[in-house]
Chains A and B, each alone.
Chain A
Amino acid sequence: MKQKIVSVLLTVAMIFSLAACGGTENKEEESSGNTEKETAEGEVTFPLDEKLTYTAFSVLHASTYDLDDSLPMQMLQEECNIDIEFQSVMSAELSEKRNLLLNSGEYPELLIKSGITSSEMMDYGRQGILIPLEDLIQEYMPNLTAWLNDNNAWQWVTSSDGHVYGLPCYELAITDWTPYWINMKWIENLGLQEPTNLDELYEVLKAFKEEDANGNGDPNDEIPLAFNGMPDFLFQYLGEAVDSKTYCYVEDGQLTFAPVSDIYYTYLEFFAKLYAEGLILDTCFTITGEELTAMGTANDVIGSNPTAGIFLTVGRDRDEDYKMLTPFEKGKYAIGNGISTGVFCVTDKCQNPGPVLAMFDTFYSQEGGVLATMGVEGKTYTINEDGDWEWIVGGEYGETVDEVRGNGTIQGTTAGPYIAPDIWWTNMSPKADPDEVYLNKERVRTAEYGVSVLPNMYYSQEDEDIVSTLFTDIRTYCEEYTVQIITGEKDLASTWDEYVSTIEQMGLSELMEAYQRTYENSLEMSQ
């Protein structure tokens, strides 16, 4: 009996080890085939004589639009004689699906608009799941190479191991945090001024609450501050430029972790006061974005709201009542550099990445950028006599601007493989998409106050491990505490010390050492 069991177990073990061997052998074959083909192909001329097929993982824009069906991708695939089979998922499940896929071993050849983070890229790159692209870019992507060289931007796309694992997206550099919009019409109605510090902001929000700011005769239907999730937008107005990934700010070359600093005390104090006085939408931590939008578009009830573009919350009729609250101080307003990385990655399953990279290089020129972000002249946009461009709404590609953007461009939901062309923001006609024009104007206006906080952070493997181990727990605890303080469940003054010491116990000093080390190394490397 026992012998039987042992032998069965052995058989099972053997089957497993065989399966494992089989797996790796296949992969080796693939990758060796890979290099041979590359050298044989050399330059790529489109259209290809023989149709090439690739598989790709991507996100559905607005949970509706498949990248595959978008006009630019359709055109490009046809022109190049390349067919990409997309597997697209909803953005809510993007990171889960992406990680499952990449870890299952059954992943596609390309990741396009997959939302992959830079630390994931480095991890998967190190494992050999993603292949280094720097040589391929130089060989197959003249447009992107030129752009990276001209803008001295290689540093922003390179991982700390010196490899490039993902292509970049470039758009206008805007605030690092969610922009904070305030209703200027209400401020005018009440004869107030735009706030220039936290106390004034408080006074304004209080006035929104107490008086009939929207002028409909009911002084009680105004919500001075509506948001959902964490109100981190306030980091823009606390007197230190805080980086949104690490939650650190720099003082004399030293990084400080904002959530345990004095400015965070101010942050908590401010929101606790607002909440206690009913100036914040009281369902802010449970309401969904859709519910908030429904509330905001139905009636003129929102006094201020942090969101990427205010028309997303209050609709396109009243968005110009709002403006992005002007930063209180120059140089203390964190902005990004406009570059997102990892919008296009190639896995080791891809035997012949050259042609598809050459195809996507199209989107990295001015004209290609137009195709990617605006579509085709005469189909999705026109240029009027002033030289400004506007969307064609009501035509073949949709009844609204949103539909045209979904069907006619590769923009939206996450950054994509393109550089936004200059014409996008220099010549957008106010007639066709006034809301976007207004948004861009506001972005440019506030970005002038901005400062880029950190260089591109090149984490070493150890530091990366430390950060990924410690940061999530610390951040989760910090959010829990924040919610408890804001809703008045805990008293700030009496629990603050305990909160700080808990975070210290959770390994703050180790985390900060890793950040500081990486910061100093990265400063050197990017010079």
Chain B
Amino acid sequence: MAIENVIMMDVVGKIKYVDKFAKDIFLFNDIQIVDAMQEIDSGRFILPIREENMGELLGFAQLVSGETMMDEKKFVKTVNKLNELYKGSLNLDMVSLAKSENDLGKALAKAREFDNNLVVEYSELRDVKTRIEALEKSKIAYSYLDELDAQMSELDSLENFSYSLGSVTKDNAMRLKSIYNSVTSIVFHVGNQEDNEEVFMIVSPKDLEIESQRILRALNFKPIEGFNAKYTESPKEILKAIDVEVKNLQTKNADLVKELNIHLEENRVDATDSFNTLSLYANLSIIKKYMAFSDDNFYFSGWISKRDKQRMEAIAAKYPEMIIMFSDTNKGSGKPPTKMKNNWLFKPFETLVKLYGVPSFNELDPTPFLSITYMFCFGFMFGDVGQGLFLAVAGFILGKRGVELGKILFRLGICSTFFGFMYGSFFGFEEVIHALWLRPFEEINSILFVAIGIGIGMLFVAYIYSIINKLRKNEIKEGVFGKNGICGFVLYASLLAIVGINAAGFEIATLLTPILGVLAVLLVFIVLIREPLANYLQKNKHLYDESPADYYVESGFELFEMLLGMFSNTVSFIRIGAFALVHVGLFMAFQTLAVMAQNGVISVGILILANVFIICLETLIVSIQALRLQFYELFSKYYTGDGVEFRPVDLEINLF
């Protein structure tokens, strides 16, 4: 079956082996770790009481959760630093991790040494960068004065005047302008800043400087930085000099970066080593958080696949005095997670199933059934060789880029192509290829009947799934006597038979109809009284779980709903035939338009547009309709989807 059996594994080991064991778990990967402390607290982690287990048993009394003791942050910090230096080009190498003994102390020491070596180069680099930044500032500052034909030294050494440059907002600039003539300084507008502020140069007599400053402050005047007394030439010359200096520094900067990179490359092996080891320890710390510890022992719990049991036992055997226990799902060790296992064809459809819910561990995985019927319905409704291939290609590309839905689209496209050949439709044209089966528009009745036939087939399978699922959960009431159980199934089949043989006019009909009729009435009655019947057979004391009156009112309505449902669910499948017709009809409408246009270019344009339109619209509608059939008509019969997904250990710690 497509749901793997999982079992709970409980491990007790000596504390000195904990790192090695955690590493094994990490490399093993396909395990869902459970908080051991919680398992022990809830009494599910049970050690057999034996002489040799005494130490471990006594350890239960002094347990501490790993959560309080472990901290992966210090590892993560160093790992992040390395990652940043190498711009994310370091990768966790699982193979070398598995082979080598990883010494934490050595890795930490190496990383530290590495760090120290970098400090020197880094500080020089930072120096150059700050100098470039300062120069850029000066460049902007002096560029406001670039039309000034004077030496800066002259301005700086004025005896009775001082100057300053600064910016104010647009509104404040207006205010400044309205007091130009009364203010005690000379104001020049010298330019605009990028952030929409206006830049002014203020020259004021030194005697009145305080007053000028007050006014400027009132206008929220922000002085421009970057002027420096060391620049004495005219602004034009200064700007030139700055450009040269910036250029020199940039070359220096490039050299330094190169050197740093060479250094980094030289040490790549060591760095990778440290990176690997530290990442591993970060992961181990996270794993250990889920463990519980006593003075001598560690306790670990997790879900694994049943088929991995032997491999786990082999791992445990490496460590002396390690106790490993497995408990089956039905022994009540919590609700086991569900591990879905499907082949490559069905795998992408798991997404659709999870949209509804993850199957419970004791439920049949609906994925294979859903996949087959979903693809079939899609193709049936939207069968076209050209458009189907287009979808398949689009889906393939998307799938390669990691879009899960793309993979589904690819499969749907292939089915569409297949049915395209059946219907003989190529980009909507029915003249290009020969229909292998039939042309939907020419045989409307057959296609609708076939659609219902397919629906009946699918419903039958759904009944079987439902019966298996319910019996697995020991639900006699619903599984045997319920509307989606054996009774419901037989009732549905006999009603269909009555309709079928009468419609076909078989001679046997006169004989069979009354028999089947009686059977149907009997079955309806059984469904009505399913609760007391099941309780009676299971020898329960109470026949009814609620008051009989309530039960019969409710059950009566359910009967009504069941019979109606049988009819409507069946008829509902007509839509797959109807959409096959819609596909043809839609294109015919466009084709008529194209003919009416009576202009070659426009006609071709219309037909291309028609295809784009049909591809988009039908893909959307048909995929929704097909999914609706699955979720509403089929899942509601047999599927609960209240399971918990199996989540194996995360491969890598989050690097951020």
Q: Do A and B come from one complex?
A: no
